[in-house]
Structure 1
Amino acid sequence: MPSPKEKVAPFAGKRPRGGSREIRLTEVATLARVSPITVSRALNNPQVVAPETLKRIQLAVQQLGYVPNRLAGSLSSSRSRLIAAIVPTVTHSLFAASIQAFSNAMSRAGYQVLLGLSGYSDVDECQVLDALLSRRPEAMLLIGVARSSALRARLLNVNIPTVETWDMTDTPVDMLVGFSHHDAGVAVAERFLARGKRRPAIISANDERAMARREGFIETMARHGIDNVAQVLVKPPSSVAQGHNSFATILAERPDVDAVFCGSDLLALGVLSEARARGLDVPSRLAVCGFGDLEFSADLVPALTTVQMDGSRIGMTAAHCLIDRLDGSPARPKIDIGFTLVGRETA
């Protein structure tokens, strides 16, 4: 923690959300009580600046949300027409559908989308954010919500229109388009219970959204007196092989398991394959539910029961929220797209 002497005074200027105001290097210099040239040296060659001075400048940069303009001198307009998007991966078709719909809508409005991949890491997400912000985007899209305090503070300080997606929270940074993963887990548990399943298991990735589904599933089972849910957590992105191996692990410990909620349809495909290899009938002996309703899910034999959400609609709605805000119109702060539990043959 910095000593009292190293603290800088609070910034007193107004930063209205949705406006085009840009934090200037001279403001950082004023707050840090140094000259603009010293700030420039600290940002470009920090080793030539005295440690105490460097720390004051870094504190000022953090407090103001200042980002060096990598495009300075190369743009004749103050508008970049760029929209930054941070996604954990593009290998997941649901995320890809959202990004495609989002990019198409922004392109029609005269904007281009600049994509950054975070890989399910809070640290990488902050680094990707800084790299994207240095290109001076006019707005920001996130797949997921900003859960880390560092990322949230950065987005609030930068103060450009921001839409978080694919999740729900009571405290969005700005705008939110998504659905409740917790409620999705509740819905799957209730379906299993309605079919008399009392020895459930869950195979889930360990990212924030998947863990929210896990929480809803386990809490619902507990309310019905079932507190021994077998669990296997895997590293995202999930795969068919993880489903195979995880279900084998569960059967070794709990051979009487009669229902499995899988955090993705790929995991569910692995479970179904392993169940078939062991002669376990689905759904009479074993119920299986996935998440995502991927293209193959309805065509499996038996067809996969799964949770469906409209990724394209999420992307399109998020784009319209940003376009409205950039055009100066008010936008709804929170839009719940919802989900559908698609009942098929496996549960």
Structure 2
Amino acid sequence: MMDVARRAGVSSSTVSLYLRKPDAVSPAASQEIAQAIEDLGYVPNLVAGGLAAAGSRVVSVIVPSIRNAFFAETVASLQTELAADGLQVMLGHSEYSEHDEEALIRTALAWAPAAVVLTGLNHSKAARKLLAGGGVPVIEMWELGGQAPIDMAVGFSHAAVGATAARHFAQQGFTSLAFLGARLSQDRRAAARAEGFVAEALRLGLPEPQILNHPAPATAEAGAQLLGLAQASPSEFQAVACSNDLIALGVLFECQRRGVAVPGDLAVMGFGDLSFSSTSNPPLTTIRPSGDLIGREVARLIKACVHGAHPSETARIVDTGHLLVERKSG
């Protein structure tokens, strides 16, 4: 607060008043204080004083979607591990919006958390600045590769997942491939899987796969609609990789409605190995990302930091890998 006051040319008490009652400060002073806060990346500590210790037991976890079963599994695993050490999870949901994620980060830092856990490596410049100067451990989960993490990272390469799917189809003798996804402009991890899929197919000498994208969230309904687009395409696809198992489930349903045999007429692969994948008709070939393992590894890093043993440079990045689960759909 003193740094903000010096930069704005006002007293600390004026800054304090602005934070509590902005309307009580003159417009000119308010403008200078707001600019100083923006320049310095200052976040008020709402748990200062007697509540500071309580704040240090909170871990802020921000996920793109609470509807996504992948992240639910990770959060459940993370919460179970942290509870054993008396740490509590504060969950935020950004709906794949960098703006919303930034707002959640500001709120999280205001409560002086023991750690901040984010999903993925892509964040706004302002969010990265806030986190870099926040003075708390930051763990980015569910993604490795591309840019370096802010602090620590636990996850896997999504491009490698896409490459695994393409190699599997190539080994089955399929040459005409497509990738079916949803909101790929927002879901950058799904987009990375699509890019890895295309790149590996080309590396193997196959024709370039098509990428079909649905603008709405990834659901079974979106999968059914995407299959309709694929069936209407001049290309006759032999195999489709889906951005997740829900999309793949919708494809299977639509294949049954259209009389398309799976895998006889069309091979189908998902991502996630969700609970229904092994019991769908036919059982779904998919790629398992081990969301529970990600949660456990994130918790391990957080607990190490809480106990004063911040991981070394080599231990700050944990690759949890992925596993191809071959079933009957392709």
Residue matched to 1:64: 40
Cα deviations by residue, 1:130-161 (Å, 9 ceiling, x for unpaired)? 12222221211112224322221111121210
Contact 1:307 1:342 in 2 (8 A): yes
Aligned to 2:125: 149
Shift of 1:232: 1.9
Question: What is the aligned counterpart of 1:316 among 296, 317, 323?
Answer: 296
Answering whether residue 256 of structure 2 is matched by residue 257 of structure 1, we say: no
Could you tell me how far apart the structure 2 residues matched to 1:76 and 1:96 are? Answer: 29
Match of 1:181 in 2: 158
| Offset, 1:227 | 4.7
TM-score, structure 2 normalization: 0.91
Report whether the alignment pairs 1:216 with 2:196.
yes
Query: How far 1:228 sits from its partner (Å)?
Result: 4.1
CA contact 2:47–2:55 (8 Å) conserved in 1: no
Shift of 1:52: 5.3
Q: Where do 5+ consecutive residues of structure 1 fail to align?
A: 1-24
Amino acid at match of 1:307: I
Which deviates further from its counterpart, 157-166 or 270-279?
270-279
User: 1:22-171 residue pairs with structure 2 within 5 A?
Assistant: 25-47=1-23, 49=25, 53-72=29-48, 75=51, 77=53, 80-169=56-145, 170-171=147-148
Deviates more, 1:236-245 or 1:225-234: 225-234
Post-superposition CA distance 1:49-99 (Å, at most 9, x none)? 455543442343234332123334662747531111111122222211110
1:338 aligned counterpart, secondary structure:
coil
8 Å Cα contact 1:230/1:254 also seen in 2: no
Between the aligned partners of 1:33 and 1:263, the Cα distance in structure 2 is 52
Query: Residue 26 of structure 1: CA displacement?
Result: 1.6
Bigger shift: residues 144-153 or 188-197: 144-153
Q: Report the Cα distance in structure 1 between the residues aligned to 2:178 and 2:34, rounded to whole angstroms.
A: 48
Q: How is 1:174-323 mapped onto 2 (pairs within 5 angstroms)?
A: 174-205=151-182, 206=184, 207-235=187-215, 237-254=217-234, 256-323=236-303
Please identify, of 162-171 and 173-182, the stretch whose mean Cα deviation from structure 2 is larger.
162-171
- Shift in alpha-carbon separation, 1:269–1:254, aligned structure 2, 3 A: farther
1:288 CA displacement: 0.6
Residues of 2 paired with 1:65 and 1:96: CA distance? 31
RMSD: 2.0
1-structure distance, mates of 2:64, 2:170: 33
TM-score of the superposed pair, with normalisation by structure 1: 0.87
CA distance in 1, matches of 2:215, 2:148: 27
3-state DSSP of counterpart to 1:291: coil
Cα separation, 1, equivalents of 2:219 and 2:269:
15
Moved more, 59-68 or 128-137: 59-68
Letter in 2 for 1:65: G
Which SS does the other structure have where 1:298 is aligned?
A: coil
Contact 2:92 2:104 in 1 (8 A): yes
* Cα deviation, residue 171, structure 1: 0.7
Deviation string 1:255-287 (CA, Å, 9 cap, x unpaired) is 611111100111101111111222222213211
AA partner of residue 283 (structure 2): A
C-alpha displacement at 1:223, in angstroms?
2.4
**Structure 1 residue 128: Cα displacement:** 1.2
How far apart are the structure 2 equivalents of 1:211 and 1:78? 39
For these two proteins, the number of residue pairs brought into alignment is 323
Work out whether residues 120 and 236 of structure 1, in 8 Å CA contact, stay in contact via their aligned partners in 2: no
- Match 1:342 to one of 308, 321, 325: 325
Q: Are the aligned partners of 2:55 and 2:111 in contact in 1 as well (CA < 8 Å)?
A: no
Task: Give per-residue Cα distances to partners, 1:197-238, cap 9 Å, x unaligned.
Answer: 111111112101100001101111222344542222124641
Q: Matches of 2:216 and 2:300 in 1, distance apart?
A: 30
Q: Distance in 2 between matches of 1:289 and 1:76?
A: 49
User: Hey, what's the Cα distance between the residues in 2 that align with 1:319 and 1:313?
Assistant: 10
Q: Is the 8 A contact 2:138 2:151 kept in 1?
A: yes
- Aligned counterpart, 1:22: none
* Corresponding position: 1:328 with 2:308: yes
The answer to whether the 8 Å contact 1:280/1:286 transfers is yes
| Residues 8-52 of structure 1: per-residue CA shift (max 9 Å, x gap) | xxxxxxxxxxxxxxxxx1222123332112222333444554555
Q: Following TM superposition, by how much is the alpha carbon of 1:339 offset from its aligned partner in structure 2, in angstroms?
A: 0.3
Q: Which moved more, 1:73-82 or 1:294-303?
A: 73-82
Identity of aligned residues (%): 37
- Report the AA paired with residue 175 of structure 1: M
Distance 2:113 2:271 in 1: 33
Q: Any conservation in 1 of the 2:52–2:112 contact (CA below 8 Å)?
A: no
Aligned residue for 1:141, secondary structure, equals strand
